[in-house]
Amino acid sequence: MTLSDTPDLVVIGGGNAALCAAITAAEAGARVLILEAAPKPYRGGNSRHTRNFRCMHHGPLGPLTDSYTEEEYLADLLKVTGGKTHEGLARLAIRSSEECLPWMEQHGVRFQPSLSGTLSLARTNAFFLGGGKGLVNAYYRTAERLGVRVAYEASVTHLELNDDRIDFIDYTQNGETHRVAPKSVVVASGGFQADTDWLARAWGPAAKNFLIRGTPYNRGVVLADLLDQGVEQVGDPTQCHAVAIDGRAPKFDGGIVTRLDCVPFSIVVNKNAERFYDEGEDVWPKRYAIWGRLVAAQPDQVGYVIIDAKSLNLFMPSVFPPIKADTLEELAEKMDLPAEALAKTVAEFNAACGDTSGFHPTELDGVATTGLTPPKTNWARPITEPPFYGYSLRTGVTFTYLGLKVDERAQCAIGNRPVSNLWAAGETMAGSILGQGYLAGFGMTIGTVFGRIAGKEAAAHANAN
């Protein structure tokens, strides 16, 4: 790279947060270079797997119905994070989300009505037409029109921090090492969940059996490099968002289609054919998020969902067809479960079921077992009607919480001073806002809001220096 085309500003990453930062900075007049580790077909990180973002609004806005106020939004957030929330930054994200929607439309994103099967989100979450990859494509078009340069398969390996300033960035592309020295740097390279060794260090060896729902490129290389050099950290490496997904899903990038919504209508057993938790505890999405951890705690980090014919059409279909058998014995054999133990578990469960006339698939119906441990407190119907169906379950990690600590200007810090030319946006700083738990659609909100803030601040710094 020659001196004349040295960019004013480098954005590390190629997902939602990176693109929002790059577009905002380019509109402020900065010459921007995006360094994206993935090849073009896989550009866009986890953002390419998303479907919506959560948006405050007063009155109907775009695809959103009714209103969703700051207080209600914050209350929803506090509920899922158990209070582990930085209220100032959370309010900033929530308040700014309203102006994001028209901004996104102006920059090419298109919305659609809430998807079939997700009516509960129609008021709070705006769905992207075509999903996250459609969004990412639109942003790349917009960015390129603004003169942003994009380097694919460009993995950043090191940021050189001297005092309170990043002096240069090293990255590799096509097996060669390159060095750039921009005036400002925005880090938007996501979490570290794709590095299963790191996950195993934090979680124990069980983590080797986890599946990663999103991109294989978020390996936390930049995060580790900056934390090693003393940049302020937030969050705890053992915290990650994990759900139970189909055990046949690919190791990486299985995305949304591997989720299983059938747990409430099932019994879930471990590899010894024993039940281990109340399958009827709660309605979606809460039940969804706890099962990742429950399965992670079972031997070999695997679970098995068993349902019968009457429940097959009560939940959204998933990508792989269920394993099907006419008898429980045959099902046990096909799923590699001990047949006798499974028969016993099912018989005990069936015997504990009572009156099922109040069964209601979409509400907590109170149709519960009696005298069983663990109990099933809702939707407890005996498993009797062949054919029987089974799915295997594994832990699917969505993202990690360990990240860079930023202030309300998205700026990183070292000791108690800001790093003068370093900003962070998206998942890599999301821990600054929520320490645990997750609210559907908030990841894209954080990326959009803080991406835009980081882009604006980083461009102002570059323009002034």
Q: Structure tokens of 30? A: 């900065």
Residue of the chain from 7, 21, 53, 90 that contacts ligand FAD (CB under 6 A): 53
- Under a CB-based contact definition with an 8 Å cutoff, are residues 259 and 245 in contact? yes
Comparison of 318 and 411: residue with beta carbon closer to another protein: 318
Q: Structure tokens of 409? A: 């200007």
Helix intervals (H) in 297-403: 328-334, 339-352
Comparison of 171 and 252: residue with beta carbon closer to another protein: 252
Report the alpha-carbon distance of residue 123 to residue 61 in Å, rounded: 10
Which H or E element spans position 392? strand 388-400
Beta strands at 184-187 and 211-212: parallel, antiparallel or unpaired: unpaired
- Residue 16 contact, options another protein, ligand FAD, none, Cβ 5-8 Å cut-off depending on partner type: ligand FAD
Residue of the chain from 13, 182, 190, 255 that contacts another protein (CB under 8 A): 255
Q: Residue 302's CB: how many other CB atoms inside 10 A?
A: 18
Any contact of residue 313 with another protein (CB under 8 A)?
Answer: yes
Comparison of 86 and 376: residue with beta carbon closer to ligand FAD: 86
- Under a CB-based contact definition with an 8 Å cutoff, are residues 403 and 431 in contact? yes
Amino acid at 63: P
Comparison of 131 and 182: residue with beta carbon closer to another protein: 131
- Minimum separation from the CB atom of position 294 to ligand FAD (A): 19
- Residue 221 contact, options ligand FAD, another protein, none, Cβ 5-8 Å cut-off depending on partner type: ligand FAD
Bridge partners (DSSP) of residue 246 are 393
What residues contact residue 296 under an 8 Å CB cut-off, 6+ apart?
203, 206, 207, 210, 242, 395
Q: Rounded to an integer, what is the distance from CA 20 to the centroid of its chain? A: 18
Report the alpha-carbon distance of residue 275 to residue 278 in Å, rounded: 8
Comparison of 31 and 43: residue with beta carbon closer to another protein: 43
Comparison of 2 and 313: residue with beta carbon closer to another protein: 313
Region of 62 on the Ramachandran plot (φ > 0 left; ψ -120 to 50 alpha; else beta): left
Size of the site for another protein (CB under 8 A): 32
Any contact of residue 318 with another protein (CB under 8 A)?
Answer: yes
Which H or E element spans position 94? helix 87-106
Any contact of residue 316 with another protein (CB under 8 A)?
Answer: yes
Residue of the chain from 7, 182, 255, 455 that contacts ligand FAD (CB under 6 A): 255
- Under a CB-based contact definition with an 8 Å cutoff, are residues 323 and 390 in contact? yes
Any contact of residue 253 with another protein (CB under 8 A)?
Answer: yes
- Residue 422 contact, options ligand FAD, another protein, none, Cβ 5-8 Å cut-off depending on partner type: none
Comparison of 186 and 263: residue with beta carbon closer to ligand FAD: 186
Any contact of residue 189 with ligand FAD (CB under 6 A)?
Answer: yes
Any contact of residue 447 with ligand FAD (CB under 6 A)?
Answer: yes
Stretch that binds ligand FAD, among 100-108, 218-226, 310-318, 322-330 (CB under 6 A): 218-226
Any contact of residue 435 with ligand FAD (CB under 6 A)?
Answer: no
Bridge partners (DSSP) of residue 241 are 399
Residue of the chain from 51, 275, 394, 461 that contacts another protein (CB under 8 A): 51
Beta strands at 165-173 and 176-180: parallel, antiparallel or unpaired: antiparallel
Any contact of residue 237 with another protein (CB under 8 A)?
Answer: no
Any contact of residue 43 with another protein (CB under 8 A)?
Answer: no
Which residue, chain included where needed, has tokens 């005092």?
163
Residue of the chain from 117, 230, 299, 374 that contacts another protein (CB under 8 A): 117
Report the alpha-carbon distance of residue 438 to residue 77 in Å, rounded: 8
Up-side HSE of residue 201: CA atoms within 13 Å toward CB? 7
Report the alpha-carbon distance of residue 389 to residue 312 in Å, rounded: 8
Up-side HSE of residue 450: CA atoms within 13 Å toward CB? 36
Identify the sign of the CA torsion 39, 41, 42, 48: positive
Residue of the chain from 63, 190, 247, 303 that contacts ligand FAD (CB under 6 A): 190
Bridge partners (DSSP) of residue 205 are none
Stretch that binds ligand FAD, among 90-98, 283-291, 438-446, 452-460 (CB under 6 A): 438-446
- Residue 303 contact, options another protein, ligand FAD, none, Cβ 5-8 Å cut-off depending on partner type: none
Bridge partners (DSSP) of residue 369 are 353
- Residue 193 contact, options another protein, ligand FAD, none, Cβ 5-8 Å cut-off depending on partner type: none
Binding site for ligand FAD (CB under 6 A): 12-18, 35-38, 44-47, 49-53, 155-156, 188-190, 213-215, 217-218, 221-222, 255-256, 398-399, 426-427, 441-444, 447
Binding site for another protein (CB under 8 A): 41-42, 48-49, 51, 110, 112-113, 115-117, 127-134, 137, 141, 250, 253, 255-257, 313, 316-319, 321
